Amino acid sequence: MAQTPEGKVKARIKALLNQYDVYFTMPIGTGYGSAGVPDFVCCVPPHGGFLAIEAKAGDGKTTALQDRHIESINVRGGRALVVNETGLEALVELLERMVKPYD
């Protein structure tokens, strides 16, 4: 089965998270969950930093609800960002800072 463009971005994000030994889960937006929650909810070692990632393909835009979740995480001291194919390097830089915060 062919992967969607967003599916390809998610696969690359998963590979990066595994490379950095990050715990992550991918909440499913169903009637029982919370709509707008980012695609990845993560705990970054070694200090347990909270990271949330919304995956988009190309010029995909976040919804207003997704923006509210991202903002809510960021103002509370967590880190949340939107990552597309061209934003993977920003994710690597953030993971480097979170994994090695005192270097």
**Class of domain 15-99 (CATH, top level):** alpha beta
Mean pLDDT of the chain: 92
What band does 1 get if pLDDT is binned at 50, 70 and 90? low
The residue assigned the tokens 């960021």 is: 74
Structure confidence at residue 34 (pLDDT): 81
Report d(CA 67, CA 6) in Å as an integer: 18
- For the segment 93-102, the average pLDDT, to the nearest whole number, is 87
pLDDT at 54 over 90: yes
Angle between helices 5-19 and 88-99 (to 10 degrees): 20
| Model confidence pLDDT, tens digit, residues 21-52 | 999 999 987 777 788 999 999 999 998 999 99
- For the segment 68-94, the average pLDDT, to the nearest whole number, is 95
Whole-model pTM: value is 0.92
Q: What is the three-class DSSP state of 1? A: coil
pLDDT at 80 over 90: yes
Angle (CA) 98 99 100, round 5°: 95
